[in-house]
Homo-oligomer: A and B are copies of this chain.
Amino acid sequence: MQYKAGRKRVVIEGVTPEIDGGDFAIKRTVNETVIVEADVFTDGHDAVSAVLQYRKAGATTWDEVPMQPLGNDRWQGCFKVTEIGRYQYTLATWVDHFKSWRQALAKRTQLTDIVLQLQVGAQLIEAVAERADEEDAKRLREQAKILADKGDLHKRLTIALEDEIALLMDRYPDQQLVTRYDKNLSVIVERVRGRFSTWYEMFPRSCTLVSGQPGNFNTCEDRLPYIAAMGFDVLYLPPIHPIGHIHRKGKNNTLVAGAEDPGSPWAIGAEEGGHKKIHPQLGTFKDFQRFIAKAREYGIEVALDIAFQCAPDHPYVKAHPEWFRWRPDNTVQYAENPPKKYEDIYPFYFETDQWEPLWDELKSIFLFWIEQGIHIFRVDNPHTKPFPLWEWLIAEVKKVAPDTLFLAEAFTRPKVMHRLAKLGFSQSYNYFPWRNTKQELIAYFTELTQSESREYFRPNLWPNTPDILPEYLQFGGRPAFMIRLLLAATLGASYGIYGPAYELMENTPRDLGGEEYLDSEKYQLRHWNITRTDSLKDFIAQVNQIRKDNLALQSDWSLRFYPIDNDQMICYSKWTEDLSNIILVVINLDAHHTQSGWVELPLERLGLKENLPYQVHDLLSGTRYLWQGYRNYVELNPQIAPAYIFSVRRRVRTEHDFDYYL
């Protein structure tokens, strides 16, 4: 094997990004850049050249960009992805004898040596002319002739060292000696919303202005201006399908439902139908269509919840008993996600012999809703279904609708969550709800934004969900809700809240020490008074507007934390690559007391100068401060405002000696 490639002298190693040896694609959104690096080196002391090759999957030819050496045998190249879909990239490299020759020539000092080298160069050029196209070959031969001739030495040296021949020579490396990287690595390119999105979760059935009366798609339509005013662009609905009656849950997750209890929307399926039907109380398909069209007018995209599981009275159970695992007593063990028990839900039996028809049916559920105009799915507990299913399903769905986005709701062990992201989920729930202290936040978000996992794992930050009312929110009052929203909205380019519980600061748990809401909407109708004067809706609107106005907050990789000499305060920045937009966030994590401290900034990295003042403009209060030097004082009273979201502006002096801040 190696014998055959005995003259391919250049080695390619340590290619990044490359996930699990190329088994999985990295992710980008449209117009982002892919920076590829590799160790490239050969034996001995010859010069090497390397190119990065890339193409849209399916294309038969590669585009090519030269790679540049970074030192220590590391090389880098980059390309931009401009379309949704799959791209591929790989590398090629070779010993560049002409480059070696030029470098050697430039060092020669003895006349006989130089003349001999010019002859060697002429030979190299002649050899390349053999495989060049006609025009290039002609030019190469002309120049080779001059080099080998006994003409004006200065002229010959000039030709040898100028770029013209080098560029021609570069076009024709000896393919027999080129080392090609043996893998085509993949990039999944998604639309920008895959990276930057602002989610609002809402139970349609609670969406009403009158208490006790169930909401529907029409009342949801009326709620759209309210949601749009807060600045959300994805409206995610829990399952909208018929709800099972058998083992239906009662209020507060009790095992016996009253006659009026609506049941959990995740107990999908009843006599009216299953995953491809709408709960009659919510309206018709026509209502649904009108609702999502109206949402679109408000700049809001509706996302649906896909939960692969069935109430015991789901039509699948009778039609396809082979998709469930029956016990000797003709029952099915209900679903669990320990410590949670779903007595009202049957899990699918994915080890069934009939798994292929089952997979096809599950795929048809996605395709059905895509047909209805839904292109974002929040997938319920994907970690309790086989990994190969997701890899196949997401790829299959994207064949039909490449712009589809998938959010993985897997709150489980880290490696399982990472695997799901590798398999293709666009975004992932994560441990943010349980990262509260400065140390926890810095450690976790450094991992999320600076480690290799950022190539495939895009976090979507939720300070609450219908399942999670974190302790911090239970006891921190209004400042706690502001703080957690600020963290989510500025640490995460994608974040979401479950409302109106969030903006109305619902904070009573069902059990002390637990994270379940008391009187959770999962099991009963709730009426929310969204006009309450203490609502956080205006604050949320302001924060979301800041996100829209500042590109720096629309991606995650630039996140950097800075020292601040108070453990209750956290400070971090995000920037655009050209530093035209720099956002500096300072948050008091203590919901109860005023805290203050000295922030330390890396001025040079921020494009600032030690001896020039710069402006930090708090986009929340509108206040502008002039700071100078790397160390500055901050103080935050959580009862007034628990955070600064500074826009950092450097001073610019105009020709008229008039200063302003850019």
Partner of A416, one of B43, B327, B329: B43
- Name A389's closest neighbour in chain B (CB-CB): B6
Chain B binder among A8-16, A367-375, A651-659? A8-16
> Chain B residues near A350 (CB, 8 Å)?
6-7, 9
> Given known contacts A20-B13, A44-B384, is B6 in contact with A73 (CB within 8 Å)?
no
Other A-B contacts than A3-B388, A6-B356, A6-B386, 16 sampled, CB-CB below 8 A, are: A2-B388, A2-B391, A3-B392, A6-B350, A8-B388, A9-B386, A9-B388, A11-B387, A42-B387, A43-B387, A45-B384, A72-B414, A73-B416, A116-B328, A116-B329, A119-B329
Q: Which of A43, A337, A355, A356 has the most CB of B within 10 A?
A: A43
Q: Which residues of A contact B (CB under 8 A)?
A: 2-3, 5-9, 11, 13-14, 20-21, 39, 41-45, 72-73, 95, 116, 119-120, 123, 177, 327-329, 336-338, 350-351, 355-356, 359, 383-389, 391-392, 413-416, 419
Partner of A72, one of B72, B95, B387, B413: B413
Q: Is the CB of B327 within 8 A of A383?
A: no
Could you write out 12 A-B pairs with CB less than 8 Å apart?
A: A6-B359, A6-B386, A7-B355, A9-B388, A11-B387, A11-B419, A13-B415, A39-B415, A42-B387, A73-B416, A95-B351, A177-B351
Q: Is the CB of A416 within 8 A of B41?
A: yes
Q: Is the CB of A73 within 8 A of B415?
A: yes
> Chain B residues near A336 (CB, 8 Å)?
45
Q: Within the assembled complex, what's the spacing in Å between the Cα atoms of A3 and B396?
A: 11
Closest 5 CB pairs between A and B? A119-B328, A21-B21, A44-B384, A2-B388, A73-B415
Q: Is the CB of B392 within 8 A of A6?
A: yes
Q: Within the assembled complex, what's the spacing in Å between the Cα atoms of A452 and B287?
A: 60
Q: Within the assembled complex, what's the spacing in Å between the Cα atoms of A116 and B123?
A: 86
> Chain B residues near A388 (CB, 8 Å)?
2-3, 5-9
> Chain B residues near A355 (CB, 8 Å)?
6-7
Q: Within the assembled complex, what's the spacing in Å between the Cα atoms of A119 and B326?
A: 12
- Name A8's closest neighbour in chain B (CB-CB): B388
> Given known contacts A7-B350, A13-B419, is B338 in contact with A45 (CB within 8 Å)?
yes
Q: Which of A21, A95, A387, A413 has the most CB of B within 10 A?
A: A387
* Shortest CB distance A103–B (Å): 11
Q: Within the assembled complex, what's the spacing in Å between the Cα atoms of A338 and B11?
A: 21
> Chain B residues near A386 (CB, 8 Å)?
6-7, 9, 43
Q: Is the CB of B41 within 8 A of A413?
A: yes
Q: Within the assembled complex, what's the spacing in Å between the Cα atoms of A356 and B338?
A: 63
- Name A40's closest neighbour in chain B (CB-CB): B415
Q: Is the CB of B351 within 8 A of A7?
A: yes
> Chain B residues near A414 (CB, 8 Å)?
72
Q: Within the assembled complex, what's the spacing in Å between the Cα atoms of A601 and B336?
A: 49
Q: Within the assembled complex, what's the spacing in Å between the Cα atoms of A169 and B392?
A: 32
- Name A331's closest neighbour in chain B (CB-CB): B116
Q: Which of A73, A123, A388 has the most CB of B within 10 A?
A: A388
Q: Is the CB of A43 within 8 A of B73?
A: no
- Name A422's closest neighbour in chain B (CB-CB): B13
Q: Within the assembled complex, what's the spacing in Å between the Cα atoms of A329 and B118?
A: 12
Q: Is the CB of B72 within 8 A of A392?
A: no
> Chain B residues near A383 (CB, 8 Å)?
43-44
Q: Within the assembled complex, what's the spacing in Å between the Cα atoms of A236 and B384?
A: 62
> Chain B residues near A359 (CB, 8 Å)?
3, 6
Q: Is the CB of A120 within 8 A of B419?
A: no
> Given known contacts A9-B351, A21-B21, is B73 in contact with A413 (CB within 8 Å)?
yes
- Name A359's closest neighbour in chain B (CB-CB): B6
- Name A10's closest neighbour in chain B (CB-CB): B387
Q: Within the assembled complex, what's the spacing in Å between the Cα atoms of A135 and B15?
A: 53
> Chain B residues near A44 (CB, 8 Å)?
383-385
> Chain B residues near A337 (CB, 8 Å)?
45
> Chain B residues near A351 (CB, 8 Å)?
7, 9, 95, 177
> Given known contacts A41-B416, A391-B2, is B119 in contact with A327 (CB within 8 Å)?
yes
> Chain B residues near A9 (CB, 8 Å)?
350-351, 386-388
> Chain B residues near A120 (CB, 8 Å)?
327-328
Q: Within the assembled complex, what's the spacing in Å between the Cα atoms of A336 and B44?
A: 9
Q: Is the CB of B392 within 8 A of A2?
A: yes
- Name A382's closest neighbour in chain B (CB-CB): B43
Q: Is the CB of A43 within 8 A of B385?
A: yes
Partner of A415, one of B41, B45, B338: B41
Q: Within the assembled complex, what's the spacing in Å between the Cα atoms of A11 and B337?
A: 19
> Chain B residues near A116 (CB, 8 Å)?
327-329
* Shortest CB distance A523–B (Å): 23
> Chain B residues near A419 (CB, 8 Å)?
11, 13, 41
Q: Is the CB of B6 within 8 A of A43?
A: no
- Name A6's closest neighbour in chain B (CB-CB): B388
Q: Which of A5, A8, A11, A384 has the most CB of B within 10 A?
A: A11
- Name A119's closest neighbour in chain B (CB-CB): B328
Q: Within the assembled complex, what's the spacing in Å between the Cα atoms of A416 and B41?
A: 7
Q: Within the assembled complex, what's the spacing in Å between the Cα atoms of A19 and B328?
A: 49
> Chain B residues near A384 (CB, 8 Å)?
43-45
Q: Within the assembled complex, what's the spacing in Å between the Cα atoms of A252 and B26?
A: 57
> Chain B residues near A45 (CB, 8 Å)?
336-338, 384
Q: Within the assembled complex, what's the spacing in Å between the Cα atoms of A72 and B20?
A: 19
> Chain B residues near A73 (CB, 8 Å)?
413, 415-416
Q: Within the assembled complex, what's the spacing in Å between the Cα atoms of A183 and B419?
A: 19
* Shortest CB distance A174–B (Å): 9
* Shortest CB distance A324–B (Å): 14
- Name A423's closest neighbour in chain B (CB-CB): B2
- Name A347's closest neighbour in chain B (CB-CB): B44
